[in-house]
Amino acid sequence: QMHLQQWGAGLVKSSETLSLTCGVYGGSFSVYYWSWIRQSPGKGLEWIGEIDHRGRGNYNPSLKSRVSISVDTSKSQLSLKLSSVTPADTAVYYCARSGSATDIFHYHYGMDVWGQGSAVTVSS
Amino acid sequence: QSVLTQPPSASATPGQGITVSCSGGSSNIGSNPVNWYQQLPGTAPKLLIYATNQRPSGVPARFSGSKSGSSASLAISGLQSEDEAHYYCATWDDSVNGRVFGGGTKLTVL
């Protein structure tokens, strides 16, 4: 059974870069898309972006200029970097499996395996 | 503001049925299947419905999804206390080439 384990700094200073990593265990890394999603305190879900094992990605236009999502297929890991953070970026960040990388309609199938979430606070 | 519009709250008593709506536009729900997620307090979201009306393995048949035009619905029959959670709709938006979520509906089982 595939599971995702996240880690990274829980406290980041304003203007610095948030960095998180998600490890994929118990299944094949290279046949899926992988997403990052965040949830601000008391708010709804916001999709940040996604990537496949070849580095093909799609990003939320509102965050695209500050976001970098990358993969390390040798370690079955994906990473998120969000630059120039402000307190508005305080949120729980999730990684999730996001459909088959061989399916041009991968987004039809939802995000079906999620990490445990990483709470990140941006201090002013 | 979320691209997809959901009522912020809904309530019903155990055993009843309820429908949660999700309204979008031609570039998102009007053109693509809809997924639904259930989020229990303090936990990661769980995929409840994918491809508009398909249930992943393990999701009870009490949960069903449908779509008409640019709107979608999640129906829950025979409500149970453990169904009390936030429910989010999501789909792909062709205009931004990305996934979009609704603002979420908090379901209270009275």
Q: pLDDT tens-digit profile of B3-43?
A: 999 999 999 999 999 999 999 999 999 999 999 999 999 99
Average pLDDT of the segment spanning A19-27: 97
Residues of A whose CB is below 8 A from B35: 109-111
Size of interface A-B (CB pairs under 8 A): 66
Distance CA A117, CA B38 (A): 15
Residues of B whose CB is below 8 A from A47: 90, 98-101
The mean predicted confidence, pLDDT, of chain A is 95
Residues of A whose CB is below 8 A from B32: 107-108
- State yes or no: pLDDT of B99 exceeds 90: yes
**Helices first, then strands: H and E counts in chain A:** 0, 11
Instruction: Check residue B30 and give left, alpha or beta (phi > 0: left; psi -120 to 50: alpha).
Output: alpha
Q: Are A49 and B56 inside 8 Å of each other by CB? A: no
- State yes or no: pLDDT of A64 exceeds 90: yes
% of chain A with per-residue pLDDT over 90: 86
**Residue A115 main-chain phi, psi, to 5 deg:** -75, 175
User: For an interface test with B, which of A45, A46, A69 has the most B Cβ atoms less than 10 Å from its Cβ?
Assistant: A45
Distance CA A94, CA B32 (A): 24
How far from each other are the two terminal CA atoms of chain A, in whole angstroms?
40
User: For residue A103, what pLDDT is reported?
Assistant: 87
Going by pLDDT thresholds of 50, 70 and 90, the confidence category of residue A104 is: confident
Q: Using CB atoms, pick whichever of A35, A44, A114 lies closest to residue B88.
A: A44
Q: How far off is chain A from B21, nearest CA to CA, in Å?
A: 16
- State yes or no: pLDDT of A107 exceeds 90: no
Going by pLDDT thresholds of 50, 70 and 90, the confidence category of residue A108 is: confident
Q: Using CB atoms, pick whichever of B47, B103, B104 lies closest to residue A112.
A: B47
Q: How far off is chain A from B87, nearest CA to CA, in Å?
A: 10
Q: Where are the alpha helices (DSSP H) in chain A?
A: none
Q: How far off is chain B from A85, nearest CA to CA, in Å?
A: 20
Closest-approach residue (CA) in chain B for A112? B47
Instruction: Check residue A42 and give left, alpha or beta (phi > 0: left; psi -120 to 50: alpha).
Output: left
Q: Are B50 and A109 inside 8 Å of each other by CB? A: yes
- State yes or no: pLDDT of A25 exceeds 90: yes
User: For residue A12, what pLDDT is reported?
Assistant: 98
- For B81-90, how does the pLDDT look when each residue is reduced to its tens digit (9 = 90+)? 999 999 999 9
User: For residue A61, what pLDDT is reported?
Assistant: 95
Residues of B whose CB is below 8 A from A116: 44
